[in-house]
Structure 1
């Protein structure tokens, strides 16, 4: 299977599988700007509603099949099962051909083998979620990363950082006036960016809980991007455009990246009063161009707001 770009995810909206409007979202009549969707059967669904949620998911997939599949330009669609046992059942549903993959909840080294045995359909991508106490241990993350690369590497789009569960394991909840980076998650995200990023994994940033504070969300997104996060989980439609606007590449970074990857680039050069060194900045430049391909470039003009300029080759 061709590796799906993690930058195609953009803002990823989680929706309980019990929702009645999932088909409208899948086909773009609702939230047409959405890039990726997770139909959740885990934390967002109460135990008593699991059978209803599974039935609703089946009805959704049957409706997609009846329309001939998801349309071009539709958001990427993932399913988050409750555990590996549920995943094994869903893995064998023929209707799962209409889904891009699974979000794997609470992945650890100890349950990795169970997930490997459950998700054998190689047409389904995987997004494991790091959200258990083991995540605070860098050695455990090194081992998990190595194990993932040895078994499921080509199917993993990105690793999702489960901020709420990680904070909950410490008995904490973020303060309403600060970003996640004013909590122990600052250490966790920086550590994961180094440990997992150096092994080649992309990471997506945790949710932002304060729906009435868009400026604080933007501040947190700046820190997400500075730590190399490729996308962010959204918990409400009002967050989608803010996340995706923030993920767009600045024109200055875009131009610098083009110069750095050029075959004619000198060993060291100055651009906009910043030193550029292709030997050390090449990987950054490639990621910037990939991000721009999927999410666009911010075009700033005097007296106007930033408007995205999407590039040729982007899916949307």
Structure 2
């Protein structure tokens, strides 16, 4: 992996909107470019924060262009939950028009997806596109299940053939069959078998925690993460167990949405430790994050990673910086990973940071994933923390 240079090439890359001086100060190894012709596993890790936007917005094309300039690298034009039933037709037309208008612009280098309601929606988007095929990366498939999923995946395959471009699918797992304990294992086994048939087509598996909560009439509070909602976190654990394995049978699993972004009165103490911000003279910045509910989001992102989940669905532009900042690989992580990958004969040795042991066999898969993530999110300079990254991204 190289650092120092940041020439623009085909595709996009994370943190490209920062000025060169800031990037050099933050990164030992700069993030490298990616596009939808990239290796599937690397592209899935590159998703990072995937921003959803209603497909009915009258200024949709301008919105996508603006977000791309702000550093967003993956977006979903949403025709499902974000759109009222009587506006779907308008949304379909607006989506096709938007993709066609984006063709040839810098925004077309983003990873752009359309979340449809039905398999028929995939066919209708594909049949209406002109130049916009160049801007389309694939489709998000809602309410995906062992029984409903095949029609979706076959529609994406047919659209790929029709348009002459490999299009990806991102199924969203959120059905009641998955949530209910007595049907979960059977459902997950069926989903796993179906996705295995279409492995080359599936970019990542997304978790729809809002619908899962709705099954029980739950809406989690802003003072809690999804990992505090036991009936949902049990589902997430089983999804990762079935579909997130690193033995060649699994997929990248992305984290559920964080719903909050406005000021409010807090019931509990903030979830963001003060010490890292005090060490970087950023106490006021920490207070700003807490007041905007981003402390809960940061906590949830850390728990996503701890539970085998990469990237996250976001519904507000202010969340993008938090997700991507915490996706960058630290100097310590990277050098531990390189150390682990330095030999295949097993054994254990102390980290160069002298604060942990690196075991070459059990930590090997972690190290491989860390180096791959580093290729798209970069490696920070020694001493640079997520506070520095987040400060640069929010205050640019």
Fold match, TM over 0.5? yes
Q: CA deviation at 1:37?
A: 0.3
Q: CA deviation at 1:104?
A: 0.6
Q: In the aligned structure 2, how far is the partner of 1:246 from the partner of 1:44?
A: 27
Query: Match of 1:125?
Result: 168
Q: CA deviation at 1:277?
A: 2.2
Q: 1:305 to 1:114 in 2, by over 3 A?
A: closer
Moved more, 247-256 or 26-35: 26-35
Q: How many residues are matched?
A: 304
From 318, 334, 341, the counterpart of 1:238:
318
From 225, 228, 232, the counterpart of 1:185:
232
Moved more, 138-147 or 241-250: 138-147
Q: CA deviation at 1:263?
A: 4.0
Q: In the aligned structure 2, how far is the partner of 1:305 from the partner of 1:87?
A: 41
Contact persistence 1:7–1:295 (CA under 8 A) = no
Q: In the aligned structure 2, how far is the partner of 1:302 from the partner of 1:153?
A: 37
From 269, 279, 283, the counterpart of 2:361:
279
Q: Name the SS of the counterpart of 1:176 in structure 2.
A: coil
Contact persistence 2:116–2:140 (CA under 8 A) = yes
Q: CA deviation at 1:86?
A: 1.4
Q: 1:278 to 1:62 in 2, by over 3 A?
A: same
| TM norm structure 1 | 0.88
| TM norm structure 2 | 0.71
Q: Which runs of 5+ in 2 are unaligned?
A: 1-36, 161-165, 262-291, 391-396
Name the one with the larger strand percent.
1
Q: 1:70 to 1:200 in 2, by over 3 A?
A: farther
Query: Match of 2:372?
Result: 290
State the structure with more CA Rg. Answer: 2
From 255, 268, 277, the counterpart of 2:348:
268
Q: Deviations over 1:266-293 (max 9, x none)?
A: 5322213422222221111111111111
Q: In the aligned structure 2, how far is the partner of 1:128 from the partner of 1:238?
A: 25
Contact persistence 2:175–2:211 (CA under 8 A) = yes
From 105, 116, 123, the counterpart of 1:81:
116
Does residue 145 (structure 1) correspond to residue 192 (structure 2)? The answer is yes
Q: In the aligned structure 2, how far is the partner of 1:248 from the partner of 1:303?
A: 9
Q: In the aligned structure 2, how far is the partner of 1:203 from the partner of 1:264?
A: 28
Contact persistence 1:12–1:38 (CA under 8 A) = yes
Q: In the aligned structure 1, how far is the partner of 2:101 from the partner of 2:386?
A: 43
Contact persistence 2:50–2:311 (CA under 8 A) = yes
Q: CA deviation at 1:134?
A: 2.0
Q: Name the SS of the counterpart of 1:107 in structure 2.
A: coil
Q: Name the SS of the counterpart of 1:201 in structure 2.
A: coil
Contact persistence 1:299–1:307 (CA under 8 A) = no
Query: Match of 1:100?
Result: 137
Q: In the aligned structure 2, how far is the partner of 1:12 from the partner of 1:302?
A: 25
Q: In the aligned structure 1, how far is the partner of 2:38 from the partner of 2:60?
A: 27
User: How well do the aligned residues superpose, as a CA RMSD in angstroms?
Assistant: 2.3
Q: 1:224 to 1:302 in 2, by over 3 A?
A: closer
Q: 1:281 to 1:301 in 2, by over 3 A?
A: closer
Moved more, 154-163 or 47-56: 47-56
Q: In the aligned structure 2, how far is the partner of 1:13 from the partner of 1:303?
A: 24
Higher relative contact order (CA 8 A, sep 6+): 2
Contact persistence 2:68–2:110 (CA under 8 A) = no
User: 1:51-70 alignment to 2 at 5 Å?
Assistant: 51-65=89-103, 69-70=104-105
Contact persistence 2:240–2:253 (CA under 8 A) = yes
User: 1:30-69 alignment to 2 at 5 Å?
Assistant: 31-65=69-103, 69=104
User: 1:15-26 alignment to 2 at 5 Å?
Assistant: 15-26=53-64
Q: 1:31 to 1:191 in 2, by over 3 A?
A: farther
Query: Match of 2:328?
Result: 248
Does residue 135 (structure 1) correspond to residue 170 (structure 2)? The answer is no
Q: 1:194 to 1:264 in 2, by over 3 A?
A: closer
Q: Name the SS of the counterpart of 1:249 in structure 2.
A: coil
Moved more, 186-195 or 113-122: 113-122
Contact persistence 1:26–1:75 (CA under 8 A) = no
Contact persistence 1:206–1:233 (CA under 8 A) = yes
Q: In the aligned structure 2, how far is the partner of 1:304 from the partner of 1:76?
A: 24
